[in-house]
Chains A and B, each alone.
Chain A
Amino acid sequence: MVLVLVALSSHLISYSQQRNNDRDSCINLKEIFITSECKFDTSLRNEALSSSSFDIKNIENNGSKGIKDIALNTPNLFIPDYGSKTTSSIYVRGIGSRIDNPIIGYYMDNIPILNKSNFDFEFWDIKNIDIIRGAQSTLYGLNTLGGIINITSLSPMNYQGKRVEFETGNGGLFRTKTSVYYKKSDKLAFSIGMYYGSLSGFFTNTYTNKKADWSRDFGTRIKIQYRFNKNWTLYNNTIFSSLNQGGYAYSEYNIEKKQAFSISYNDKCGYDRKSLINGTKINYRNNKINLLSISSIQILDDKMLLDNDFSQKALFTLNQTQREIGLSQEFILKPISSNKNFDWIIGSYSFSRHLDLQSPVRFREDGVNEIILYNINNGLHHSFPYDNILFREKEFDANSSFIYPRYGTALYCQGSYKYKNLKLIGGLRMDYENILLDYKNDIRINYLFTLTMDEYKPLNTILRGKESQETLELLPKIALVYDINDDVNIYATISKGYKSGGYNTQIFSDILSNKMREDMLRDLGITLENSQQKYSIDEIIKYRPEYIWNYEMGSHFDLLNNKLRGNIALFYMDCINQQLTIFPDDKSMGRMMTNAGRSKSMGVETSIRANIDNLSLNLSYGFIHARFIEYKNGQENYSNKKLPYSPSNTISIGAYYFLILSSHYIDDINFGISYSGAGKIYFDEANSVSQEYYSLIDANINLHRDRFNLRLWARNITNTDYNTFYFMSLGKSYVQKGRPIQFGLTLIFNT
């Protein structure tokens, strides 16, 4: 590894030139057509939007294993790596949310991934990734107000052969992948692949003396493509994955000293996920129209265990299981015409998600004594200093069961008319969504008041109810694209985005424990003076949809005979009812989503690539200025505070140098080094806790010989110490650190 670093240091600002033109940089390039993207017929560069694209070489050379790696190289896209793979908190242009509905639409081979818990999966045999920033709700509907991520895997119609990969590295990393792509005829092609990965981990839980962030995952993907005739084609894609991991490397944090203590908690944390996604695309095409049907069935079965206090005490744990069946169906109709001056697309989209969520919180012995009984007796001791409430149970469960279905349907259309160099685009979507919540919660205990009672008395606290909300949204878009010449265009866009509302299921343990206390006092005939219910159930569990008006202007340029390419965008986003995750007060156990009133985000983002002989340079930079305009949470006024969790600056600089050796042992070699940085990040609405700007440097060497490719790589080679996440629980502060230095080697065999 030292040799690798020495070699890299001598090529610090070196870049690789693609030997073939298909080796593109990480930014959107003119030659990358979104052929697999159903809703854009031309390159994204010709559209009125800001985007970044990555092809298979970018992904493999950078060693990107998931969307969190890709985000490091994308301006104004921030996906911090913390918790577990169920945690995909995505922030685009300063706007995002930690839990519940995502801000960005996520597509795998044109199949919309319905549940955010499925977003973070292992990348393998990915053909290209397109990331579009800015509200895309006219074409893509709800939860795309920050944009979309579309991932396309290799197609057996276009690629045939075998691919085998082994990877090992520090932290006990081991990965292997194998896949076969076979085209039997012009009519039938299929592929099958699978992977297995394991990681011992980088962070040790000092209480158990075991790694906290270990993982094991397995997956398989089967693709079948069948062309019935010249008109009809069927694509079927089945993806199964099984994940078992620890995660949650959270440690207590001293805000004043900015010092994290060691990870030390007693109860088990982990995340298990089994996911099955089957998508079918049927394409009918004649010389006039192209009709697409894209349908999917998605099954998610996962389980999350949490030591919710992340301390050595036995306070409380969460044992959450989700079982969701999702269905989606989209029809898209587009013309096939030689007259490209006028273009249009119309479509319909429907989905249904049926979520069965069980999330019992177990109050363990310390939690019963130090949280539940302490709070109850603390109030009583003002009057009865020598007597206490006691529970017969040393531990008990706050059972929470939810049936949480949602379904929706939409109709949309978009048209564009091109007159000379000017293209006018307009679109409208009507989106309907209905969300239901049927909750059943209970705590069953036996209690005794030592002042008056000789025997324990049963107390059943039951909380049941049903809620529903429905929304009907109109989501317009209007845009202009002006081609200055063949290589440069400018554009302006106004579009509206929309994110679903929902219900706070994670706050029910707080609500239930408060209700138990109230029920017990009522049963005793005691009313505490100055006692007040801190929140009503109806108010706290519901959060409303979030809306964004996105105003954007930008340019795509391709200069100096394709040697300098890039795009730049200026944007202003007016966010209404922004959804934010908060803790109701610093003593609470749960977290909840709330609507923050109003916020705005403005900024700039650019991606530029330059090719100079064998040297290739990539630069992406994003800057945001995002603040609350109005946000009073009932206790504090956060107006003019910066939006939390998203960095003001995102920077990525990559350099590759490609060298043909043609020796007996090595055909070619390329060196790569990349720098990425993010910050400053505020972690709370009060802007009292933050992570300063931090930098990560990655480097790699790829040695290529015939069908073999050996890649030596290192990530975070300066071992930068930074916090990737911060939160409060029970009045204490916690952080998760970013991963330390990682290094390893990857051997790839392609035929």
Chain B
Amino acid sequence: MKTMKKLLLVLILCTFAVACTEKDDDNTSNTQVSTSDKKDYSGTITIGSGENVFAEDSVSIQSELLTEGKMNLKMFQVKFSPYMPVRIDMGINGVNYSKQLDGSYNISADSIVPIAMGGEYPSYTITNLQGSLTDSSITFNMNCGSYPVTYTGTIKK
């Protein structure tokens, strides 16, 4: 009986310890994301391909890592043509990310309707977004509506 009680006590303690460990794991996971949840980058955006390329430097982007492998990207004051008379802020929400062994993240997305100019803007639907994100840089390619877009940036100090 005493043995049973000891065993039960050990089980309870183990359960408690496991529970605590799981909780700690959750915390660890959350901490990993939250420590790098928002980062600001500045870099070069290139729109188009071949001879019809339009590029601009010093374009700002903000990344925000969320839980469950999702992140948001926000591009500030971008234009997709030299003749475009406005610049817009555009949010790409729900981009997938996965952590790599070297600590970087692969990012990808398809068929995301961006948020721009106060609401969803289907004309600039994001397709084929592929790229990577590190603590110091971000690089991705995507199609923004009919515009092929490449962005390469480094973190703002």
Which chain A residues have a beta carbon within 8 Å of chain B's beta carbons?
A: 379-380, 382-383, 449, 451-454, 457, 523-530
Contacts and interface: CB of A to CB of B under 8 A. Distances in A.
Nearest to B74: A525
Contacts, number: 51
A529 B86 contact: yes
Interface string B69-100: 00000001101000011111110000000000
B119 A453 contact: yes
Given A383-B84, A526-B117, 14 more contacts: A379-B85, A382-B86, A451-B117, A451-B121, A452-B117, A453-B119, A454-B119, A525-B117, A526-B87, A526-B88, A527-B86, A527-B88, A529-B79, A529-B87
A383 B119 contact: no
11 contacts: A379-B86, A383-B84, A449-B118, A449-B119, A451-B119, A452-B118, A452-B121, A523-B118, A525-B118, A526-B86, A526-B117
A199 B85 CA distance: 56
B139 to A, nearest CB: 23
Contacts of B64: none
Interface string B96-133: 00000000000000000000111111000000000000
A447 to B, nearest CB: 9
A530 B83 CA distance: 12
Nearest to A381: B85
Pick from A380, A457, A526 the residue with the most CB of B within 10 Å: A526
A524 B88 CA distance: 8
Nearest to A454: B119
Nearest to B75: A525
B119 A525 contact: no
Contacts of A525: 76, 88-90, 116-118
A457 B77 CA distance: 22
B118 A453 contact: yes
A530 B118 CA distance: 22
B47 to A, nearest CB: 15
A525 B87 CA distance: 8
Contacts of A529: 79, 84-87
Contact of A382 (B76, B85, B118, B119): B85
If over half of B's interface residues share one DSSP class (helix, strand or loop), that class is named, otherwise mixed; here it is: strand
A526 B120 CA distance: 14
B118 A383 contact: no
Contacts of B90: 525
Interface of B: 76-77, 79, 84-90, 116-121
Contacts of A452: 116-121
Nearest to A527: B87
Nearest to B76: A525
A451 to B, nearest CB: 6
Nearest to A522: B89
B86 A449 contact: no
Contacts of A524: 117-118
Can you list the 8 inter-chain pairs with the closest CB atoms, starting with the nearest?
A525-B89, A452-B119, A382-B85, A527-B87, A383-B86, A453-B119, A453-B118, A452-B117
A448 B119 CA distance: 10
Nearest to B89: A525
A449 B77 CA distance: 18
Contacts of B116: 452, 525
Contacts of B79: 529
A302 B9 CA distance: 87
A574 to B, nearest CB: 49
Nearest to A531: B86
A43 to B, nearest CB: 72
A524 B89 CA distance: 8
Contacts of A453: 118-119
Contacts of A457: 118
Contact of A380 (B86, B89, B120): B86
Contacts of B118: 449, 452-453, 457, 523-525
Contacts of B76: 525
Nearest to A452: B119
A341 B79 CA distance: 83
Nearest to A380: B86
B116 to A, nearest CB: 6
Contacts of A454: 119
Contacts of B84: 383, 529
Contacts of A530: 85
Contacts of A379: 85-86
Most buried by A among B76, B84, B85, B89: B85
Contacts of B89: 525-526
A91 to B, nearest CB: 46
A229 B2 CA distance: 118
B122 to A, nearest CB: 9
A523 B89 CA distance: 10
Contacts of A380: 86
Contacts of B87: 526-527, 529
A517 to B, nearest CB: 14
Contacts of B121: 451-452
Contacts of A528: 85-86
B76 to A, nearest CB: 8
Contacts of A382: 85-86
B83 to A, nearest CB: 10
A382 B85 CA distance: 6
A174 B112 CA distance: 77
Nearest to A447: B118
A524 B87 CA distance: 11
Among B87, B120, B121, chain A packs the most CB atoms within 10 A around the CB of B87
- Chain A CB within 10 Å — which of B79, B89, B116, B119 has the most? B119
Contacts of B119: 449, 451-454
A733 B123 CA distance: 45
A652 to B, nearest CB: 60
A379 B117 CA distance: 14
Nearest to B85: A382
Contacts of A451: 117, 119, 121
B73 to A, nearest CB: 14
- With a 10 A CB-CB cut-off, give which of B77, B85, B118, B121 has the most chain A CB atoms: B118
A524 B118 CA distance: 5
A391 to B, nearest CB: 14
Most buried by B among A525, A527, A530: A525
B59 to A, nearest CB: 12
Nearest to A520: B118
Given A525-B90, A527-B77, A449 B85 contact: no
A55 B121 CA distance: 78
A297 B76 CA distance: 58
A563 to B, nearest CB: 78
Nearest to B91: A525
Nearest to A382: B85
A529 B90 CA distance: 16
A519 to B, nearest CB: 13
Indicate the member of B76, B86, B90, B120 with the most A CB atoms within 10 Å.
B86
Nearest to B86: A383
Nearest to A449: B118
Nearest to B119: A452
A451 B119 CA distance: 8
Nearest to B77: A527
B92 to A, nearest CB: 13
A451 B86 CA distance: 14
A457 B117 CA distance: 12
A523 B116 CA distance: 10
A523 B119 CA distance: 11
Contacts of B117: 449, 451-452, 524-526
A454 B117 CA distance: 12
B81 to A, nearest CB: 10
A65 B121 CA distance: 68
Nearest to B121: A452
